[in-house]
Amino acid sequence: MAEGAPRPLVSAIIVVLDGETYLAEAIDSILAQTLRDWELLIVDDGSTDGTAAIARGYCARQPERIRLLAHPDGANLGIAASRNLGIAAARGRYVAFLDADDVWLPEKLAEQVAILEADPELGLVYGRTLIWHSWKTGVAGDDHYYDLGVEPETRHEPPALFELLLENRAQTPTTCNAMMRADIFEAVGRFDPRARGMFEDLSFFGKALALAPAHVSGRSWARYRQHAASCTAVSASAQGDERALLTALGRLDRALAPHAPPPRVRRALRRARLRALHGLLRSRLRPLRLKLRGAARRLLGPRR
Protein backbone atom coordinates (compact mmCIF):
# COMPACT_ATOMS: atom_id res chain seq x y z
CA MET A 1 0.00 0.00 0.00
CA ALA A 2 1.34 3.42 -0.96
CA GLU A 3 2.97 5.49 1.77
CA GLY A 4 0.57 8.14 3.04
CA ALA A 5 -2.48 6.52 1.44
CA PRO A 6 -5.80 7.68 2.94
CA ARG A 7 -6.94 5.72 5.98
CA PRO A 8 -9.85 3.43 5.04
CA LEU A 9 -13.06 3.63 7.03
CA VAL A 10 -13.30 -0.15 7.57
CA SER A 11 -10.68 -2.88 7.80
CA ALA A 12 -12.18 -6.21 6.75
CA ILE A 13 -10.14 -9.21 7.93
CA ILE A 14 -10.43 -12.74 6.56
CA VAL A 15 -8.52 -15.50 8.35
CA VAL A 16 -8.14 -18.60 6.22
CA LEU A 17 -6.59 -22.04 6.52
CA ASP A 18 -6.83 -24.34 3.49
CA GLY A 19 -9.92 -22.46 2.36
CA GLU A 20 -9.64 -22.65 -1.41
CA THR A 21 -13.18 -24.05 -1.74
CA TYR A 22 -15.02 -21.01 -0.39
CA LEU A 23 -12.49 -18.17 -0.19
CA ALA A 24 -13.38 -16.49 -3.48
CA GLU A 25 -17.06 -16.36 -2.49
CA ALA A 26 -16.16 -14.70 0.82
CA ILE A 27 -13.95 -12.11 -0.89
CA ASP A 28 -16.59 -11.43 -3.55
CA SER A 29 -19.11 -10.65 -0.81
CA ILE A 30 -16.77 -7.90 0.39
CA LEU A 31 -16.27 -6.58 -3.13
CA ALA A 32 -20.08 -6.40 -3.40
CA GLN A 33 -20.48 -4.10 -0.36
CA THR A 34 -22.45 -0.92 -1.00
CA LEU A 35 -19.97 0.96 1.22
CA ARG A 36 -16.77 1.21 -0.78
CA ASP A 37 -14.40 2.77 1.75
CA TRP A 38 -12.68 -0.38 3.00
CA GLU A 39 -9.46 -2.36 2.92
CA LEU A 40 -9.25 -6.16 2.99
CA LEU A 41 -6.56 -8.06 4.89
CA ILE A 42 -6.40 -11.76 4.08
CA VAL A 43 -4.45 -13.66 6.75
CA ASP A 44 -3.22 -17.05 5.55
CA ASP A 45 -2.73 -19.24 8.62
CA GLY A 46 -0.35 -21.76 7.03
CA SER A 47 -2.46 -23.08 4.15
CA THR A 48 -1.08 -25.89 1.99
CA ASP A 49 -3.74 -25.82 -0.74
CA GLY A 50 -4.49 -23.15 -3.35
CA THR A 51 -5.55 -20.51 -0.82
CA ALA A 52 -2.51 -18.24 -1.26
CA ALA A 53 -2.80 -18.31 -5.06
CA ILE A 54 -6.45 -17.26 -4.89
CA ALA A 55 -5.63 -14.46 -2.45
CA ARG A 56 -2.70 -13.24 -4.54
CA GLY A 57 -4.96 -13.06 -7.57
CA TYR A 58 -7.30 -10.64 -5.79
CA CYS A 59 -4.34 -8.65 -4.43
CA ALA A 60 -2.94 -8.26 -7.93
CA ARG A 61 -6.25 -6.87 -9.20
CA GLN A 62 -6.71 -4.39 -6.34
CA PRO A 63 -3.31 -3.90 -4.66
CA GLU A 64 -4.36 -0.57 -3.16
CA ARG A 65 -7.19 -2.22 -1.19
CA ILE A 66 -6.34 -5.90 -0.66
CA ARG A 67 -3.30 -7.31 1.15
CA LEU A 68 -2.19 -10.86 1.91
CA LEU A 69 -0.56 -11.49 5.32
CA ALA A 70 1.06 -14.61 6.78
CA HIS A 71 2.96 -15.66 9.87
CA PRO A 72 6.77 -15.99 9.67
CA ASP A 73 7.80 -19.07 7.69
CA GLY A 74 4.15 -19.65 6.78
CA ALA A 75 3.42 -21.07 10.23
CA ASN A 76 0.01 -22.22 11.39
CA LEU A 77 -0.58 -20.36 14.68
CA GLY A 78 -4.35 -20.66 14.95
CA ILE A 79 -7.31 -18.44 14.21
CA ALA A 80 -6.96 -16.18 17.27
CA ALA A 81 -3.30 -15.38 16.59
CA SER A 82 -4.20 -14.81 12.94
CA ARG A 83 -6.97 -12.38 13.85
CA ASN A 84 -4.42 -10.49 15.95
CA LEU A 85 -2.03 -10.32 12.98
CA GLY A 86 -4.81 -8.76 10.93
CA ILE A 87 -5.67 -6.30 13.72
CA ALA A 88 -2.04 -5.21 13.97
CA ALA A 89 -1.96 -4.39 10.25
CA ALA A 90 -5.44 -2.83 10.09
CA ARG A 91 -5.67 0.88 9.29
CA GLY A 92 -9.44 1.38 9.44
CA ARG A 93 -11.49 3.23 12.03
CA TYR A 94 -13.67 0.11 12.27
CA VAL A 95 -12.81 -3.60 12.09
CA ALA A 96 -14.99 -6.45 10.84
CA PHE A 97 -14.07 -10.13 10.49
CA LEU A 98 -15.27 -12.63 7.93
CA ASP A 99 -14.39 -16.31 8.08
CA ALA A 100 -13.31 -17.70 4.73
CA ASP A 101 -16.34 -19.98 4.38
CA ASP A 102 -18.98 -17.37 5.28
CA VAL A 103 -20.37 -14.40 3.35
CA TRP A 104 -21.57 -10.88 4.08
CA LEU A 105 -24.77 -9.38 2.73
CA PRO A 106 -24.21 -6.23 0.63
CA GLU A 107 -25.47 -3.66 3.18
CA LYS A 108 -23.48 -4.97 6.16
CA LEU A 109 -20.68 -2.42 6.23
CA ALA A 110 -22.82 0.60 5.34
CA GLU A 111 -25.49 -0.11 7.94
CA GLN A 112 -23.09 -1.03 10.73
CA VAL A 113 -20.89 2.02 10.15
CA ALA A 114 -23.98 4.24 10.28
CA ILE A 115 -24.94 2.80 13.69
CA LEU A 116 -21.44 3.24 15.13
CA GLU A 117 -21.08 6.78 13.79
CA ALA A 118 -24.46 7.77 15.25
CA ASP A 119 -23.31 6.75 18.76
CA PRO A 120 -19.58 7.35 19.36
CA GLU A 121 -19.67 5.58 22.75
CA LEU A 122 -20.56 2.20 21.26
CA GLY A 123 -17.79 -0.38 21.30
CA LEU A 124 -19.40 -2.71 18.79
CA VAL A 125 -22.56 -3.58 16.89
CA TYR A 126 -23.95 -6.96 15.88
CA GLY A 127 -27.13 -8.39 14.43
CA ARG A 128 -28.64 -11.67 13.35
CA THR A 129 -26.63 -14.36 11.59
CA LEU A 130 -28.29 -16.74 9.14
CA ILE A 131 -27.44 -20.35 10.01
CA TRP A 132 -26.91 -21.28 6.39
CA HIS A 133 -27.71 -24.80 5.17
CA SER A 134 -29.43 -23.91 1.88
CA TRP A 135 -26.11 -23.19 0.14
CA LYS A 136 -25.88 -26.99 -0.14
CA THR A 137 -29.47 -28.23 0.00
CA GLY A 138 -31.09 -25.48 -2.08
CA VAL A 139 -33.99 -25.41 0.39
CA ALA A 140 -34.45 -22.04 2.08
CA GLY A 141 -36.48 -23.69 4.84
CA ASP A 142 -33.34 -25.46 6.03
CA ASP A 143 -31.90 -22.11 7.17
CA HIS A 144 -32.73 -20.49 10.49
CA TYR A 145 -31.85 -17.75 12.96
CA TYR A 146 -31.31 -17.86 16.70
CA ASP A 147 -33.36 -15.58 18.90
CA LEU A 148 -31.56 -12.35 19.82
CA GLY A 149 -32.54 -12.65 23.47
CA VAL A 150 -32.80 -8.86 23.88
CA GLU A 151 -34.73 -5.98 22.37
CA PRO A 152 -33.33 -5.18 18.90
CA GLU A 153 -32.40 -1.77 17.47
CA THR A 154 -31.24 -0.80 20.95
CA ARG A 155 -28.06 0.20 22.74
CA HIS A 156 -27.37 -2.15 25.64
CA GLU A 157 -25.17 -1.15 28.55
CA PRO A 158 -22.73 -3.62 30.09
CA PRO A 159 -22.90 -6.17 31.49
CA ALA A 160 -26.36 -7.30 30.20
CA LEU A 161 -24.99 -8.70 26.93
CA PHE A 162 -22.07 -10.24 28.79
CA GLU A 163 -24.53 -12.25 30.87
CA LEU A 164 -26.42 -13.24 27.70
CA LEU A 165 -23.16 -14.39 26.11
CA LEU A 166 -22.35 -16.64 29.08
CA GLU A 167 -25.84 -18.13 29.19
CA ASN A 168 -25.35 -19.28 25.56
CA ARG A 169 -29.09 -19.50 24.87
CA ALA A 170 -29.48 -16.72 22.27
CA GLN A 171 -27.72 -15.05 19.37
CA THR A 172 -24.59 -13.24 20.53
CA PRO A 173 -21.78 -11.60 18.55
CA THR A 174 -20.19 -13.79 15.93
CA THR A 175 -17.01 -12.83 14.16
CA CYS A 176 -18.83 -12.74 10.83
CA ASN A 177 -21.65 -10.40 11.91
CA ALA A 178 -20.04 -7.98 14.38
CA MET A 179 -18.21 -4.71 13.75
CA MET A 180 -15.94 -3.12 16.33
CA ARG A 181 -14.27 0.24 16.72
CA ALA A 182 -10.57 -0.27 16.14
CA ASP A 183 -9.71 1.40 19.43
CA ILE A 184 -11.66 -1.21 21.42
CA PHE A 185 -8.69 -3.54 20.98
CA GLU A 186 -6.51 -1.04 22.82
CA ALA A 187 -9.10 -0.70 25.58
CA VAL A 188 -9.90 -4.38 26.24
CA GLY A 189 -7.16 -6.31 24.45
CA ARG A 190 -7.13 -8.58 21.43
CA PHE A 191 -7.90 -12.27 20.94
CA ASP A 192 -6.13 -14.81 23.16
CA PRO A 193 -3.50 -16.46 20.90
CA ARG A 194 -3.50 -19.56 23.11
CA ALA A 195 -7.11 -20.25 22.16
CA ARG A 196 -7.40 -22.67 19.26
CA GLY A 197 -10.61 -24.38 18.25
CA MET A 198 -13.93 -23.96 19.99
CA PHE A 199 -14.76 -20.75 21.87
CA GLU A 200 -11.62 -19.04 20.55
CA ASP A 201 -13.46 -15.72 20.36
CA LEU A 202 -15.06 -15.90 23.84
CA SER A 203 -12.26 -14.05 25.57
CA PHE A 204 -12.43 -11.01 23.30
CA PHE A 205 -16.22 -10.74 23.02
CA GLY A 206 -16.57 -11.43 26.74
CA LYS A 207 -14.26 -8.53 27.59
CA ALA A 208 -15.93 -6.24 25.06
CA LEU A 209 -19.47 -6.91 26.28
CA ALA A 210 -18.47 -6.70 29.94
CA LEU A 211 -16.85 -3.29 29.50
CA ALA A 212 -18.39 -1.44 26.54
CA PRO A 213 -21.90 -0.53 25.33
CA ALA A 214 -23.07 -2.44 22.26
CA HIS A 215 -25.89 -2.00 19.75
CA VAL A 216 -27.96 -5.08 18.87
CA SER A 217 -29.84 -5.00 15.58
CA GLY A 218 -32.58 -7.20 14.18
CA ARG A 219 -30.96 -6.92 10.75
CA SER A 220 -29.33 -9.93 9.14
CA TRP A 221 -25.85 -9.14 7.84
CA ALA A 222 -24.06 -12.47 7.42
CA ARG A 223 -24.53 -16.07 6.33
CA TYR A 224 -22.77 -18.62 8.51
CA ARG A 225 -22.12 -21.64 6.31
CA GLN A 226 -22.80 -25.03 7.90
CA HIS A 227 -20.55 -27.86 6.72
CA ALA A 228 -18.59 -30.74 8.21
CA ALA A 229 -15.17 -29.22 7.48
CA SER A 230 -15.82 -25.91 9.23
CA CYS A 231 -13.53 -24.87 12.07
CA THR A 232 -16.36 -25.21 14.60
CA ALA A 233 -17.41 -28.66 13.40
CA VAL A 234 -13.84 -29.98 13.38
CA SER A 235 -13.14 -28.58 16.84
CA ALA A 236 -16.35 -30.02 18.27
CA SER A 237 -15.41 -33.48 17.06
CA ALA A 238 -11.89 -33.19 18.48
CA GLN A 239 -12.74 -32.17 22.04
CA GLY A 240 -15.76 -32.08 24.31
CA ASP A 241 -17.79 -28.89 24.39
CA GLU A 242 -17.75 -28.74 28.18
CA ARG A 243 -14.00 -29.02 28.56
CA ALA A 244 -13.38 -26.43 25.83
CA LEU A 245 -15.90 -24.06 27.40
CA LEU A 246 -14.44 -24.46 30.88
CA THR A 247 -10.98 -23.65 29.54
CA ALA A 248 -12.29 -20.62 27.65
CA LEU A 249 -14.12 -19.29 30.70
CA GLY A 250 -10.96 -19.59 32.77
CA ARG A 251 -9.08 -17.55 30.19
CA LEU A 252 -11.85 -14.96 30.15
CA ASP A 253 -11.74 -14.71 33.95
CA ARG A 254 -8.00 -14.03 33.85
CA ALA A 255 -8.34 -11.58 30.97
CA LEU A 256 -10.97 -9.54 32.81
CA ALA A 257 -9.07 -9.38 36.09
CA PRO A 258 -6.85 -6.37 35.16
CA HIS A 259 -9.99 -4.37 34.28
CA ALA A 260 -11.44 -4.72 37.80
CA PRO A 261 -14.87 -5.89 36.61
CA PRO A 262 -17.88 -5.10 38.83
CA PRO A 263 -19.36 -7.78 41.13
CA ARG A 264 -22.21 -8.50 38.69
CA VAL A 265 -19.68 -9.55 36.04
CA ARG A 266 -17.74 -11.72 38.47
CA ARG A 267 -20.94 -13.41 39.66
CA ALA A 268 -22.08 -14.14 36.09
CA LEU A 269 -18.69 -15.61 35.25
CA ARG A 270 -18.67 -17.74 38.39
CA ARG A 271 -22.13 -19.12 37.53
CA ALA A 272 -21.02 -19.91 33.98
CA ARG A 273 -17.92 -21.74 35.18
CA LEU A 274 -20.01 -23.80 37.61
CA ARG A 275 -22.45 -24.73 34.82
CA ALA A 276 -19.58 -25.77 32.58
CA LEU A 277 -17.99 -27.80 35.36
CA HIS A 278 -21.27 -29.59 36.08
CA GLY A 279 -21.65 -30.32 32.38
CA LEU A 280 -18.15 -31.73 32.21
CA LEU A 281 -18.73 -33.93 35.25
CA ARG A 282 -22.01 -35.23 33.81
CA SER A 283 -20.33 -36.09 30.52
CA ARG A 284 -17.51 -37.87 32.34
CA LEU A 285 -19.89 -39.82 34.57
CA ARG A 286 -22.34 -40.85 31.85
CA PRO A 287 -20.18 -43.72 30.44
CA LEU A 288 -19.69 -45.01 33.99
CA ARG A 289 -23.45 -44.90 34.68
CA LEU A 290 -24.15 -46.79 31.47
CA LYS A 291 -21.50 -49.36 32.30
CA LEU A 292 -22.90 -49.89 35.80
CA ARG A 293 -26.43 -50.15 34.46
CA GLY A 294 -25.33 -52.81 31.97
CA ALA A 295 -23.49 -54.74 34.68
CA ALA A 296 -26.56 -54.63 36.92
CA ARG A 297 -28.77 -56.00 34.15
CA ARG A 298 -26.39 -58.85 33.50
CA LEU A 299 -26.17 -59.62 37.21
CA LEU A 300 -29.90 -59.45 37.94
CA GLY A 301 -31.09 -60.94 34.70
CA PRO A 302 -34.13 -59.87 32.64
CA ARG A 303 -37.12 -58.31 34.36
CA ARG A 304 -40.13 -60.57 34.89
The count of other CB atoms within 10 Å of the CB of residue 151 is 9
Please check whether residue 32 lies inside any domain of the structure. Answer: yes
pLDDT-derived band at 237, boundaries 50, 70, 90: very low
Q: What proportion of the chain, given as a percentage, has pLDDT over 70?
A: 88
Please check whether residue 279 lies inside any domain of the structure. Answer: no
Q: What's the rounded mean pLDDT across residues 19-38? A: 98
How many CA atoms lie within 13 Å of 260's alpha carbon, on the beta-carbon side? 0
- Does residue 11 have a pLDDT over 70? yes
Q: What's the rounded mean pLDDT across residues 33-54? A: 98
Residue 122's domain is classified under what CATH number? 3.90.550.10
Please check whether residue 136 lies inside any domain of the structure. Answer: yes
38 close to 10: Cβ distance less than 8 angstroms: yes
Closest CA to 198 of 226, 256, 237: 237
- Does residue 230 have a pLDDT over 90? no
pLDDT tens-digit profile of 122-135? Answer: 999 999 999 999 99
Q: What is the DSSP string of the chain?
A: --TTPPPPSEEEEEEESS-TTTHHHHHHHHHT-S---EEEEEEE-S--SSHHHHHHHHHHH-TTTEEEEE-GGG----HHHHHHHHHHH--SSEEEEEETT-EE-TTHHHHHHHHHHH-TT--EEEEEEEEE-HHHH--GGG-B----SS-SSEEE-TTHHHHHHHHTSS----TTT-EEETTHHHHH----TT--STTTTHHHHHHHHHHS-EEEEEEEEEEEE--TTSHHHHHHHHS-HHHHHHHHHHHHHHHHGGG---HHHHHHHHHHHHHHHHHHHHHHHHHHHHHHHHHHHHHH-S--
The count of other CB atoms within 10 Å of the CB of residue 267 is 13
Please check whether residue 282 lies inside any domain of the structure. Answer: no
CA–CA–CA angle 294, 300, 303 (5° rounding): 95
pLDDT tens-digit profile of 178-223? Answer: 999 999 999 999 999 988 878 889 999 999 999 999 999 999 999 9
Q: Which residues pair with 104 in a beta bridge?
A: 222
Q: How far is CA 103 from CA 79, 132, 136, 180, 195, in A?
A: 17, 10, 14, 18, 24
- Does residue 35 have a pLDDT over 80? yes
- In angstroms, the first-to-last Cα distance of the chain is 81
The total number of structural domains in the chain stands at 1
CB crowding 11-30: b at 16 or more within 10 Å, else e:
bbbbbbbbbbebbeebbebb
Cβ-proximal residues to 110 (8 Å cutoff; 6+ apart), any chain: 33, 34, 35
pLDDT-derived band at 234, boundaries 50, 70, 90: very low
pLDDT tens-digit profile of 288-299? Answer: 656 666 666 666
Please check whether residue 44 lies inside any domain of the structure. Answer: yes
What's the pLDDT score for residue 288?
A: 61
What residue type is assigned to position 241 of the chain? D
pLDDT-derived band at 238, boundaries 50, 70, 90: very low
- Does residue 50 have a pLDDT over 80? yes
Please check whether residue 225 lies inside any domain of the structure. Answer: yes
Q: What's the rounded mean pLDDT across residues 66-84? A: 97
- Does residue 224 have a pLDDT over 60? yes
Q: Are strands 214-225 and 154-156 parallel, antiparallel or unpaired?
A: antiparallel
101 close to 114: Cβ distance less than 8 angstroms: no
What's the pLDDT score for residue 239?
A: 43
- Does residue 66 have a pLDDT over 50? yes
The phi, psi pair for 128, rounded to 5°, reads -90, 145
Compute the residue count for the chain.
304
What's the pLDDT score for residue 4?
A: 62
Which residue range(s) make up the domain with 130?
Answer: 10-239
pLDDT-derived band at 282, boundaries 50, 70, 90: confident
Please check whether residue 275 lies inside any domain of the structure. Answer: no
Average pLDDT of the chain is 91
What's the pLDDT score for residue 296?
A: 63
pLDDT-derived band at 304, boundaries 50, 70, 90: low
Please check whether residue 248 lies inside any domain of the structure. Answer: no
